[in-house]
Amino acid sequence: MSTSGQQQFRYTQTPSKVLHLRNLPWDCSDEELVELCKPFGKIVNTKCNVGANRNQAFVEFADLNQAINMVSYYASASEPAQVRGKTVYIQYSNRNEIVNNKSPGDVPGNVLLVTIEGVEAGDVSIDVIHLVFSAFGFVQKIATFEKAAGFQALIQFSDVGTASAAREALDGRSIPKYLLPEHVNHCHLRISYSAHTDLNIKFQSHRSRDYTNPYLPVNPTAMEGLLQPVVGPDGEKKEPESNVLFASLENMQYAVTVDVLHTVFSAFGTVQKIAIFEKNGQTQALIQYPDLTTAAAAKDALEGHCIYDGGYCKLHLSYSRHTDLNVQAYSDKSRDYTVPESSLLAMQQASAVHAPPAVWHNPQSGPAQSSAGYGAASVPGQAPTSHSSSWNPNLLGGGSTFPLAPTRYPGHSYAPPVPGYPTAVNPPGSSQQINHNATGGRPFSVSQPFHPSTMPHAPYHG
DNA sequence: AGCACA
């Protein structure tokens, strides 16, 4: 029966690659330990603030000789080891490694391991994950998988700082409900660091993405949820995909304006055009994206969800058969975000004269909020170029709720990032007429048409 | 100034 070799001899200093440091400041940081010790070798682990007075620490070197170097040096150095002017006493630890200091998941890296609790793999799309984490910086890659721990995702940022900011802000938080299926009630994120530094993504698929390589082939066997239209429960309903979504809104307790739709649908990509109209007493809308993929992502993520808590303004999404809407560039029922900024400004001025701007009123907070908070991006009058493509992390955290607390969403404390407007303008004359309004009425009419000279596109003719 | 606890 041999012992581990670690005897309890207090006064016999068996060399160890772990050093015991005493008389440190009570709030000594890992960084200070590293600064003190790194001249002697590579530090693989630390544990500070140990002991009743929190004034002790352990430092583990990669190699025993490095620890010996340090002890030997200070045994005969003219100046003792010091932290903030305090003499630090250094001995070999009576253990051979630091145990239980930090789990590997606490060692910072640029890749986060995210466990999404309370959901199944199908409940949270990779687009939603991307959306949530893009708030903190460019997300390079995402890989999702199911393990015993549940549904997990590896999120790769370009640097540790961004990753740690995301972890700090999101660990323990929830993904906003309206980005999740209805049956999901709680969806907490548990975030640790992965040991990975660069994920190996082979395909763009429903479970992995490489945003640094848009030309990466799409895995033809893993397309579900990415491009394929959802096949209905009857297995028959196959609608041809389109870059334009047709939305019908149920239970319209609150007003849903162009701005609200723009904010919601911009979560998945650039929204080019929006039109809202009534048909048979039901509110409907068309939302145009530049491409089919974005539309599919938005459709999958938002179908069946309510814009407001309580089952209000429930979205039902299908693909429109239109590919390019012809809408008034700026009215209370439609918006064309592809028109040049100068034209838009001119239009806003025109509308200020003829029609009130479609500022959304928070139905639970009385008078219109003057767009306080981040969600102000889509309020008319703001310069489109001021739109940010990501959340401002400075506005994150602090509260117990998910990032951002715009006043725009009753019952929610979250707004998706609003990508900037595209600067490109669609070629004129390429539009199709909208035929969803079978009555032949004027679905997008506003009280006063704009002057033709200010219109980049021909006005819609019912 | 004197050895940590998942």
Residue A200 has a pLDDT of: 94
Instruction: Encode pLDDT of A421-439 as tens digits.
Output: 333 333 333 333 333 333 3
Q: Which residues of A56-73 are buried (b: 16+ CB within 10 A; e: fewer)?
A: bbbbbbeeeebbbebbee
The pLDDT confidence band at residue A460, using thresholds 50, 70 and 90, is very low
Q: Which of A185-194, A228-237, A257-266, A285-294 has the lowest mean pLDDT?
A: A228-237
The pLDDT confidence band at residue A11, using thresholds 50, 70 and 90, is low
Whether A363 has a pLDDT exceeding 70, the answer reads no
* Distance between the alpha carbon (CA) of A44 and the C1' atom of B5, Å: 19
CB A330 within 8 A of CB A344: yes
Nearest residue for B2, CA–C1': A22
Whether A262 has a pLDDT exceeding 70, the answer reads yes
A206 CB closer than 7 A to any strand B atom? no
Residue A2 has a pLDDT of: 42
CA–CA gap between residue A439 and residue A117 (Å, rounded): 48
A51 CB closer than 7 A to any strand B atom? yes
Nearest residue for B5, CA–C1': A100
Instruction: Encode pLDDT of A405-422 as tens digits.
Output: 333 333 333 333 333 333
The pLDDT confidence band at residue A70, using thresholds 50, 70 and 90, is very high
Q: Which residues of A128-146 are buried (b: 16+ CB within 10 A; e: fewer)?
A: bbbbbbbbbbebbbbbbee
Residue A26 has a pLDDT of: 92
Q: Which nucleotide is nearest to A18 (CA to C1')?
A: B3
Tell me the range of A202-211, A224-233, A390-399, A424-433 where mean pLDDT is highest: A202-211
A23 CB closer than 7 A to any strand B atom? yes
Of A426, A462, A457, A461, the residue nearest A330 (C-alpha): A457
Sign of the torsion angle spanned by Cα atoms A142, A144, A147, A149: positive
CB A325 within 8 A of CB A245: no
A22 CB closer than 7 A to any strand B atom? yes
Of A250 and A457, which is predicted with more confidence? A250
A87 CB closer than 7 A to any strand B atom? no
Q: For residue A26, what are the contacts with CB-CB under 8 A and spacing of at least 6?
A: A49, A53, A54, A55
Whether A375 has a pLDDT exceeding 70, the answer reads no
Q: For residue A137, what are the contacts with CB-CB under 8 A and spacing of at least 6?
A: A157, A158, A159, A162, A165, A166, A390
The pLDDT confidence band at residue A105, using thresholds 50, 70 and 90, is confident
A18 CB closer than 7 A to any strand B atom? yes
Q: For residue A142, what are the contacts with CB-CB under 8 A and spacing of at least 6?
A: A126, A129, A130, A133, A153, A154, A155, A156, A199, A208, A209, A211
CB A140 within 8 A of CB A158: yes
- Region A336-360 average pLDDT: 62
CA–CA gap between residue A350 and residue A451 (Å, rounded): 8
A292 CB closer than 7 A to any strand B atom? no
Residue A348 has a pLDDT of: 62
CA–CA gap between residue A162 and residue A109 (Å, rounded): 10
Whether A33 has a pLDDT exceeding 90, the answer reads yes
Distance, C-alpha A149 to centroid of its chain: 22
What separation in angstroms does the CA of A307 have from each of A3, A22, A271?
A: 65, 57, 17
Does the pTM surpass 0.85? The reply is no
Whether A8 has a pLDDT exceeding 80, the answer reads no
CA–CA gap between residue A357 and residue A262 (Å, rounded): 15
Helix axes A258-265, A292-302, angle to 10 degrees: 100
Percent of chain A at pLDDT > 70 equals 67
Tokens at A436, concatenated: 């969803």
Residue A137 has a pLDDT of: 96
